Structure 1
Amino acid sequence: MSKENTMQRALIPAIALSIATLGGAAQAAEPLQIGISAEPYPPFTYTSSEGEWTGFEVELGLAICEAMEAECEIQPTGWSGIIPSLKAGRIDMIMNSMSITEARQKVIDFSDPYYFTPGAYVAADDLELSLPEGLDGLVLGVQSATTNATYARRALRDTGVDTRLYDQAEQVNRDLLSGRLDVILADEIAMNELVERDEAEGFEIKGTAPHHEAYGEGVGIGIRQGDSELKANLNAAIERVQQDGTCSSLSEEYFGTDICTG
């Protein structure tokens, strides 16, 4: 074999390695997919009049990506399949009011929390309601696969309430407003938005759920287990948007109060 051929053969692995490296860099540069529920959850996530996704968590998520100097895209995903989509790699993170709980930490990991609010009960303003004993005989609506559903199952099962589970938050809201439910339990911030709607005249927040293990440590960004680099980058970015006022400013804009944990 000639010296020239030997050199050519020696270059092949080096060229292949270079191509693989470039391919890996290109793959790493692909936009991160932020998974949100395909079912609107205003004012956290919803579609604008132009059909674009917006809301507190959409804007905060993009601000966190900017702090990481990463390109991100919003990827609506059905709530019931959002964790499987994360684990399968179809999305890179979940940013949709997902509480950090022990049960979820068995299958996915989380960033540091970025906000915390309790669950709130909403019913007609003329309904006299003491909580939780006054729930006896009433029909309670709650979205399934949420911390509020877990709380209802663990803490309200002996109250005599008839608990009904729904796939989507807006289904719960509609059935309350139409009289098919007596009371609902959902995130307090979302319920503040609900009772301000014109169609919700005559309904009010009756109280909030007490601190309970079902509600976990607050709301964090869900990521795949073992994705330590992304977790570290997210935590640093969350700290940055907390400290520079971005989170608080968005919270005040959407809720009129600061729900950020920083």
Structure 2
Amino acid sequence: MKSYKKVLLAVTAAMVFSAPALADKLRIGTEGAYPPFNMIDSSGEVTGFDLDIAKALCERMGAECSVVISDWDGIIPALNTRRFDFLVASMSITEEREQAVDFTMPYYTNKLQFVAPKKSEFGVDEESLDGKTIGAQRATIAGQWLEENMGDVVDIRLYDTQENAYLDMNAGRIDGVLADAFVQYEWLQSEAGENFEFKGEPVFSNDKIGIAVRKGDPLRERLNEALQEIVDDGTYAEINAKYFPFSIY
């Protein structure tokens, strides 16, 4: 009986001490339609700033991570129904969203700015915008800002993806687009955006972007610790420089 107990204790101890060495298996949720932050490349791989940050965090946490794509409109419900474990999709931290999920510390700070054709007379004051048709992505801070601040001034068109808003502006169906300045910056560098430009100064400059987890999930603190580590050791700056010639932290 003594030898059996010793064997049992040895096996139990081995299990306890080896458990931390086993990698977590975590799923990253993202949209895949918001370049340069998250997009699907020609080989079908999900790439972008958000994914590079997420993968760096997984490495710091010793986690084995996979990626799950979700439409933007249903991305928080997808998190809460456990389709994935944490959400890295350039999501703004808002009071409304904080009722449904918990956020980490911000991993970058966003601005909202208008883009319109270079040749257009496009001011960002109410008088100049009166009667214009402005596009934004649905369920975003940009769409919310338009509804709250310009709802009785402009005709607002909301789109399922940012790309579809740009397509309509290119076709002349809308006069301008309000969106994240860093997303707009990327698009303006492309062939599709060469005839467009920023108009005016950012209308909102303190949009904090966080990683979302389910309410009460201790994963939030692990992500915060890992995020601080990649900021402190320069990994974040390396990822930032891959996408932008300026800091977005």
Give TM-score, length-normalised by structure 1.
0.84
Output aligned runs, 1:20-31, within 5 Å. Answer: 30-31=24-25
Q: Give the distance between the partners of 2:24 and 2:68, measured in 1 at CA.
A: 14
- Runs of 4+ deviating beyond 4 Å: none
Q: Give the distance between the partners of 1:244 and 1:70, measured in 2 at CA.
A: 19
**Contact (CA 8 Å) 1:118, 1:208: kept in 2 or not?**
no
Identity %: 38
User: What is the number of residues matched between the two proteins?
Assistant: 237
| Shift of residue 208, structure 1, vs aligned partner | 4.0
* SS of residue paired to 2:42: coil
- Structure 1, unpaired ranges of 5+: 5-10
**Contact (CA 8 Å) 2:24, 2:62: kept in 1 or not?**
no
Match of 2:232 in 1: 243
**Contact (CA 8 Å) 1:114, 1:220: kept in 2 or not?**
yes
| Shift of residue 127, structure 1, vs aligned partner | 1.2
Q: Give the distance between the partners of 2:233 and 2:140, measured in 1 at CA.
A: 31
Q: Give the distance between the partners of 1:208 and 1:170, measured in 2 at CA.
A: 22
Output aligned runs, 1:42-57, within 5 Å. Answer: 42-57=35-50
Match of 1:142 in 2: 136
Match of 1:221 in 2: 211
More strand by share: 2
Q: Give the distance between the partners of 1:102 and 1:209, measured in 2 at CA.
A: 22
| Shift of residue 173, structure 1, vs aligned partner | 1.0
Q: Give the distance between the partners of 2:143 and 2:30, measured in 1 at CA.
A: 19
* SS of residue paired to 1:31: strand
Amino acid at match of 1:179: G
Amino acid at match of 1:50: S
* SS of residue paired to 1:98: strand
Deviation per CA, 1:131-187, whole angstroms, max 9, x where unpaired? 1321111100000111111111111123x2100111111101111111111000111
**Contact (CA 8 Å) 1:45, 1:57: kept in 2 or not?**
yes
Give TM-score, length-normalised by structure 2.
0.88
Matched, 1:155 2:149: yes
Matched, 1:80 2:69: no
- Structure 2, unpaired ranges of 5+: none
| Shift of residue 48, structure 1, vs aligned partner | 2.3
